[in-house]
Chain A
C-alpha cells in the first residue's frame, strides 16, 4: 500500500501542477505579507504554479517598443516562462517584445512589462493579496481522529481522508490553501500524516506531501495514566529495536549461507554485523514507519498537553535523537514552560484554546493567561489552529489571529502564526507562507485587510490556478440571500479571467 500510495501521489503532483509554461497574473491589489511588508498596486505573477514576480506593476517603456523584428529571438514566444524564472524582474527588458507585428496588438498593447504576454490576468484593484493560509495540524476530513489501538504507527491517514467532506469547501472559503492532516492527540503512537490541498476528487489529487509525519503523545491517552503512556511508548521503540536485531541476525545468516560459510559468531555479534545488511523489505510492515521515524526520515509531531509533559517530551525526543525532527503540539498550560520550548528551538503548535484558565487553589480566583501573548513576548514563534471548524467564531483561523492582536500580540506575529510559522512547522517554509519569488502560487484575494471585521476571501489561487471564487459560492449565496441556489451550479473553480495580457 505504501508504494502504491507513494507512486500515486507522485502522479497526482504531476497532474495538479499547471501545464508547463502556464502563467497567471493577479494585478492591482495590495500585497500584505506576514512580515508586515506591503506593496501597493502590486502584481503577482505565477508561472508553472510558482511565483515568479511580486512587486509593483511596471509599465512598458514609454516610447514605442524597440524595433519589432529581433531575428535572433524567434523561439521566445513559445517558451515565455523561462526568462521570468530568475528572481530579478528585470523591468528594463520588456517581457514580450516579440509580437508587435499585428496591428490588432497595437490597439491593445500590454499594459505591463512584468506580466508575461500569455498570462491569464485577474484584476484585483482595491483588494488585498495575502498568502494562502495553512492548517499545520488538523484532523479535518478524518471520520475518526484516532485508532483504537494505542500504538498504531503502521496506519496512514491516506486511508481515512474523505475528499467529499464539507470541510474542504470551508477551507477554500476561509482562504486556507494547505492542510496537514494528522491523527489526533488521543494516542500513544499514531501513523503517517499527509499534507493536502483542499481540492480534488481523490486523495491522490489532493496530496501535496504523502506520508509526511508521525505523531506521538507524551500526555496520556484516554484510559492511560502518564506512567503507562511512557511505558507503552518505550515498549513500542523497544519492540522495534528487538525486531531490527532479529532481522539483522537473520540477514547475517542469509548472507553467510549465500557465501556457503558457517555462522561462527554469537547472536549479538551477528546482530551487529547484520545491521548494515537490513533492507526496507526485510522490516515487517507494521514496524516500517516507526523504523523510518527512528532513522530520522520522518518528521515527528509530539503532543504535550500539560506543562510537565513538555519537559518530558523534549527529554524523550532528545533520547530518541529526534529533536531536530520534532514539532511540539502543546496544550494551553504550555505557557509556563515557554523558556524550555524556546531553548528547544523547534516549531510550536498552540492549542486552539487560547486562554488558559486556572483557579487559584487558595483564593479560588480564576487566573486567566492569554497563551499566544506569552509566546510572543518570549520571542517564540507559534502556530495557531482553529477550534472546531467553521460554525463558531474561533473556528476561523484568522479570527484566532485577530484575537491575538486584540490581546496585544503584534500584528506580524499573529499573521505569521497562520502563514509562515505554519509553513515552517510542516517543513514547507521555503515553499509556502508568504508571497515571494520562488514560492508556490498560493494566493488569497481578500476584500480588505486580513484582520478587518468585514473582510472576506473573494478568490483563492492554489499553485497558480484559480481554486475558489466567492461570486460562484453556492452556500455563501444561499446563506447571505436566503434564496435556495441550484445544486447543479458549477463548482467554484471557474474564476473568469479578466483579460489576457496580450489582449486576446
Chain B
C-alpha cells in the first residue's frame, strides 16, 4: 500500500508545481479502472491532458513528456456526483428565501459559497460535483446549480439542465423557527403567509401555475412577473421540475399536481418510493433517492420513519432511472456511504457506482462532461485504497479537472496559487 501512495504523493507534488495553462499530460497506470460505463480494466491506464481524459484502456500510449504515475493496488473511478445536495451555500443568512414561497426565478448559484468548508468535506468523500438543489422552505423553490467541489474558481459552475424544485409535505409548511407557523409568533408577520398544511402547499403550487397561465393570456399579473415567466418556462418544458417528496402521499400528490398542468417531474429524496413502484414504473419518474441512512435522523425526523433498505435494489430491478444522494450528509453519512449502504442491501456494485456517478450526471444533463472515466470527459477522478464504497475503504487521491485536490497525505489542495 505504501508504494503506490508514495507515487501518488509524487504526483501530488508534481501536479501542484505544474505551470498554469501549460499543456501537461499525466498517465495514471496500474490502478483497477472502473470506468462506470461497464468497462473495467484490471489494470488500466488513464491519460489526462489539459484537465480532460485523453485516453482510457488496458494500455494507452503516453504522450511524449507525460508524467507517469504508478497507482497499483488502488481503484480508480470517476468523481462522485450528488444530484440533490444541500451543502455549499452561505450558512449565515441561510438559504431559505423568506420573501415568497414561489421563487422559481431565483438561482441557487447566487447562494453558493465557494469557500465553504462543506466543499472540503465533500472532496474528502470523493465527491467532485454537487447539484445544489432548491431549499425546501419554499413551495416552489429556486433553480438549482451544479458546481464542482474544487479546482480553479472560474470553472467551478457547470451548465446543468435548469430545474426548479417543488416541496410538498411537511417541510414547506413547517420547518423550524425560520419558517414557523403564525401561531408561534403570536401576531401576523411575513411568516403568516406560509402554508401550514399539505393542503396549503398543494394550493400554493396550483395557484402559482394558474397565475402563470393567466399571465400568459392577459400579459399582466398581480404576482411577481419574473416568477410567472419562470413558471411559463417550466410549462414550456425549458425548465425541468423536481419534487421533494418523501412519502407516498406526497409522491402521488406531485403526480396529480403535474397532471393538471401536463408537467413531468423527478422525485427528490423519495424515502417511500418503494411503496409506490407501480407509479414510478408506469410514469417513468426519475428518482434521486436518499439519504437512506442519515446520522442526524433527518430521514426519520419528519416522514418515513422506516429507512428503506431495499429501495435502491428495487429501483434497479424495476429499471427505474435513479441516482443516490446524501443531501446534507458528509463523512459517515456521505455519498460513498449511501452507495455502500445500497450495496449492503443488495444493489449490484456496478449499478451503485453508476448511481453516484454516471446516472447522477445524466440526471443533471451533464453526462457529456462528468460521471464516467471516458475519453473527452473532465478528469474528475477518485483513487480508492480498496473496493469503492466498502466500509473499510476511502478516497486517497482526488483529482478535479486533472488537478489534485486531495493528496495522498490527506491534505486538501486549494485552487492553483
Chain A residues near B (Cβ < 8 Å): 355, 366, 387, 391-394, 399, 402-403, 405-407, 451-454, 479-482
Contacts and interface: CB of A to CB of B under 8 A. Distances in A.
A453 B353 CA distance: 14
B297 A392 contact: yes
Contacts of B295: 387, 392-394
A324 B293 CA distance: 41
Nearest to B299: A391
A454 B394 CA distance: 17
A366 B120 CA distance: 11
12 contacts: A391-B297, A392-B294, A392-B333, A402-B390, A402-B392, A403-B332, A406-B391, A406-B394, A451-B392, A453-B387, A453-B390, A480-B310
B131 interface: no
**Interface residue tally on B, bucketed by range:** 20 to 34
B227 to A, nearest CB: 39
A191 B127 CA distance: 47
A387 B294 CA distance: 12
B341 interface: yes
B408 to A, nearest CB: 13
Nearest to B300: A391
A479 B309 CA distance: 6
A405 to B, nearest CB: 4
B343 interface: yes
A308 B387 CA distance: 40
Contacts of A366: 117
10 interchain residue pairs of minimum CB distance: A402-B391, A405-B392, A479-B309, A453-B390, A402-B392, A392-B295, A406-B394, A406-B392, A480-B310, A394-B332
Contact of A393 (B310, B333, B343, B387): B333
A454 B344 contact: yes
B306 A453 contact: no
Interface in B326-366: 331-333, 337, 340-341, 343-346
B416 interface: no
Interface in B306-338: 306-307, 309-310, 314, 331-333, 337
Given A366-B117, A392-B295, A479-B310, A451 B391 contact: yes
A402 B340 CA distance: 12
B39 interface: no
B389 interface: yes
A441 to B, nearest CB: 28
B274 A482 contact: yes
Contacts of B274: 482
Nearest to A452: B390
B391 A454 contact: no
Contacts of B391: 393, 399, 402-403, 405-406, 451, 453
A480 B308 CA distance: 9
B59 interface: no
Interface string B377-417: 00000000001011111100000000000000000000000
Contacts of A392: 293-295, 297, 332-333
Nearest to A411: B392
Given A366-B117, A479-B306, 19 more contacts: A355-B331, A387-B295, A391-B297, A392-B294, A392-B297, A393-B332, A394-B332, A399-B391, A402-B391, A452-B390, A453-B340, A453-B344, A453-B389, A453-B390, A453-B391, A479-B309, A480-B310, A482-B274, A482-B310
B345 A480 contact: yes
Residue of B117, B300, B391 most packed against chain A (CB within 10 A): B391
A391 B341 CA distance: 11
Contacts of B340: 393, 453
Contacts of B309: 479-480
Residue of B331, B337, B344, B345 most packed against chain A (CB within 10 A): B344
A405 B341 CA distance: 17
Nearest to B339: A453
Nearest to A354: B332
A405 B300 CA distance: 29
A385 to B, nearest CB: 15
Contacts of B314: 482
A246 B233 CA distance: 88
Contacts of A480: 309-310, 345-346
Contacts of B392: 402, 405-406, 451
B222 to A, nearest CB: 47
A405 B332 CA distance: 14
